[in-house]
Structure 1
Amino acid sequence: MRIELLHRLIAGTTTEEENRQLMEWFRECASKEEFFALFETAWKDSSDEMPRDVQERMYRRLNLNLDLDEKKKEVKAVPLRPRVSWKIWPQVAAACVIVVLSLLNYNMSHKQKQLAAQSFTVSAEKGQRAFVTLPDSTKVWLNSDTKISYPADYGMKERNVALVGEAYFEVAKNPEKRFVVEAKGMQVEALGTAFNINAYRNDNKMIASLFSGSVRVSYDDYVAILRPHESVRVDLLNRSFTQYKDENMASIALWRENEISFDGESLEEIAHIMNRLYNTTIHIEDESLKKECYIGTIRNNSLENFIDIINLTTPVVYEYKGDTVFLKRRTP
């Protein structure tokens, strides 16, 4: 098993756990001759898959530790893929220590870079919602037409999430590792808390709302520390940043319960929300109808149910044409 691990070490394919095993074995090995004998065997049998810069760095270290005079060290170097005779192997024992450490360090840093370059994405398409538990047990609910992504090394140093759309977070407590959500230039940092972020791609506003705990919200040069039941609104048109006591907290995350709350939004704004929720296009034919405003909470059962509720205050008729719903005011 150990010779196999050394083969993989030289080839650069060991896992983090195997690297730890090798390092522990090397530190505790009672017989260094046994270790170096196995390493020499693995070295001789290994392929040329190791990156050239790593090879050259280790071979220079080997050269400096060989019993050569100064002149030879200046003009003669061990060629790539050296075949060191066991007769002089004790003379390069110290160099082998450096080689092993170099390989372990290279493998670990290389794997960390690979992980950092990878990412995972969770999406909720239009007309759908999603729920995901992140590797640190943080819970995330995704509203319709929402996407979050996080790197494969999430939680190793920090906990970073990128958001497009709307999501509700219940963050697992870990004071030693920051939790940061980035959404369209706005950053929300938390330790252990629950908050909602609304930052859809085509909207001209972003809203971060805190339910419990504490968060730090930053955008451009603006910074705010939120207390429970406070929100920050970023207006992307005039670049404003407003922190306020939110009297509407109870309805902000009702979408998780399959309900929709409106607080004075126009029908034009509501139609935009419906487009995401039902994966359809609502076209309002009457300009005056677009300006009608609504207050209340409705159960998100179907688009037809939504239109029936609108009918209670504003008589309308609708017609399906393919994936588009045409909505207009009903004439007397």
Structure 2
Amino acid sequence: MKENYLAKWLNNELTEAELAEFEKTAEYATYKRIAEVSGELEAPEFHLAAAFEDIKKKQSQNTPKVVQLNPMRKVWRIAAAIAVIVVASYFYVNSMDETVSTQFAQRTEVVLPDASEVVLNADSEVSYSEKKWDQERNISLKGEAFFKVAKGKKFTVSTTDGTVAVLGTQFNVENRKGFFEVTCFEGLVSVTFNGKETKLPAGTSFMAIDGKVIPSEAPNTAAPSWINNESSFKSIPLAYVLDEFQRQYNVEVETENVDLGQLFTGTFSNTNINLALQSISTPSLIKFKLEGNKVLFYAEDAP
């Protein structure tokens, strides 16, 4: 076979005579099969722009990054954060108030920074700023407390119903829901209620029930009765008496056909529940049932 027959055949340039002669050769069948198979193959698509972008991307990924190392900058950031936390904690701690509270059937004593004394009755709470005490002797009260105030700057007791101000004295303040009473046992007390100031010398009281000022009798003791484990009342609605009984004994009180508005005058023990029940029920003409941690007061004519 002539060497140029294959090239000319691939380029379709053979004459009829040359093609006839080429087809007679032994290699023709092999070349023809190769040509047929290769004709069925498809070349992969090639996008020049996409290939160029792919190359750029790979180059950027392989390019080493230069990192500026500044270890002191990180240290200063941490130090600044710690400083902020320390300063904030300092002001937070110094602005916090000291709070002391009691639960039902509990009593506690508090000695203030100036040696003034506070005795908390059951279910009561006082709060004050120990850090600012030298600048302002002020206490917030919820419930009832007896105060023995050391002489010094103005001493103020703030409640939701009124404010009590003294210089150095002994007095009792009770601030319950719907009930506000201040009793002065020594010295002079100033009570501000509904914007009006009232001066209380030793042996006098100020009382308001449901926002209305009520005349009160002078105390005949040197301290409130509850200090000596008794609860005393003079013409007080029975509802407040039963509330105090509940606080002193941590019991659940229920009533049935009882006039809670009737006025009660008397005393009950804070240490003997059976005696206390008798002391409340007898003058009120009511009966009671004590079962476990529950007490039912009911009228005598109740079924």
* Pairwise same-fold verdict (TM > 0.5): yes
CA deviations over 1:193-250 (Å, ceiling 9, x no partner): 11110102xx21211111111222223421223221222234444xx457x6742353
Query: Structure 2: any 5+ residue segments left out of the alignment?
Result: 1-74
Q: CA deviation at 1:264?
A: 2.8
Q: Deviations over 1:281-309 (max 9, x none)?
A: 21121235x45544333432222211223
- Could you say what secondary structure the match of 2:221 adopts? helix
CA distance in 2, matches of 1:309, 1:185: 30
2:135 pairs with 1:157: yes
Answer whether contact 1:207 1:232 (CA < 8 A) is retained: yes
1:304 to 274, 284, 297: 274
Match status 1:216 vs 2:182 = no
Q: Runs of 4+ in structure 1 displaced over 6 angstroms?
A: 45-48, 51-54
1:229 pairs with 2:203:
yes
1:17-36 matches, cutoff 5 A: none
For the residue of structure 1 that corresponds to 2:236, the secondary structure is strand
1:222–1:241 Cα contact (<8 Å) kept: no
For residues 229-282 of structure 1, what are the alpha-carbon distances to aligned partners after superposition, in whole Å with 9 as ceiling and x for unaligned? 222234444xx457x674235387100000121223343332121111111221
Q: Tell me: CA distance 1:208–1:221, structure 2 relative to 1, closer, same or farther (3 Å).
A: same
Match of 1:295 in 2: 265
Could you tell me how far apart the structure 2 residues matched to 1:137 and 1:264 are? Answer: 35
Matched letter for residue 159 of structure 1: R
SS in structure 1 of the partner of residue 191 of structure 2: strand
Describe the shift of the 1:241–1:170 C-alpha distance in structure 2 as closer, same or farther (beyond 3 A). same
Q: Secondary structure at the match of 1:232?
A: strand
- Matched residues in 2 for 1:261 and 1:220: separation? 26
Aligned identity (percent) is 25
Instruction: Choose between structure 1 and 2: higher helix proportion.
Output: 1
1:179 partnered with 2:155: yes
Amino acid of the residue matched to residue 327 of structure 1? F
CA distance in 1, matches of 2:263, 2:167: 38
Alignment deviations for residues 48-98 of structure 1 (CA, whole Å, 9 cap, x no partner): 7468999xxxxxxxxxxxxxxxxxxxxxxxxxxxxxxxxxxxxxxxxxxxx
- 1:25-49 Cα distance to aligned partner (Å, 9 max, x none): xxxxxxxxxxxxxxxxxxxx99974
The whole-number CA distance in structure 2 between the counterparts of 1:231 and 1:315 is 29
Distance 1:52 1:297, change over 3 A: closer
In 2, the alpha carbon distance for the partners of 1:235 and 1:259 equals 21
The count of residues paired between Structure 1 and Structure 2 equals 227
Is the 8 Å Cα contact of residues 161 and 180 (structure 2) preserved in structure 1?
no
Closer, same or farther: CA 259–285 of 1 in aligned 2, 3 Å: same
In the alignment, structure 1 residue 323 sits paired with structure 2 residue 293:
yes
CA distance in 2, matches of 1:271, 1:186: 24
Q: Which amino acid in the other structure matches residue 255 of structure 2?
A: I
* AA in 1 matched with 2:175: A
In structure 1, stretches of 5+ residues that fail to align are 1-44, 55-106
Aligned Cα root-mean-square deviation (Å)? 3.4
> What is the CA–CA distance in structure 1 between the aligned matches of 2:213 and 2:297, rounded to whole Å?
35
Letter in structure 2 aligned against 1:204:
G
Bigger CA radius of gyration: 2
Q: Are positions 1:204 and 2:178 aligned together?
A: yes
C-alpha change, 1:319 and 1:205, in structure 2 (3 Å) is closer
Equivalent residue number for residue 242 of structure 2:
271
Counterpart residue number, 1:58? none
Q: Partners in 1 of 2:141 and 2:206 — Cα distance?
A: 16
What is the rounded CA distance, in whole Å, between the counterparts of 2:297 and 2:149 in structure 1? 41
User: What is the correspondence of 1:223-262 to structure 2 with a 5 Å cutoff?
Assistant: 223-237=197-211, 240=212, 246-250=217-221, 253-262=224-233
Partner of 1:282, secondary structure, is strand
Bigger drift between 254-263 and 160-169 goes to 254-263
What is the one-letter code of the residue matched to 2:244? I
1:188 aligns with 2:159: no
Q: Measured at CA, do residues 251 and 120 of structure 1 come closer, stay the same or move farther in structure 2, by a change above 3 Å? A: same
State the TM-score, normalizing by the size of structure 2.
0.63
**Structure 2 CA distance for aligned equivalents of residues 189 and 121 of structure 1:** 20
TM-score, normalized by length of structure 1?
Answer: 0.58
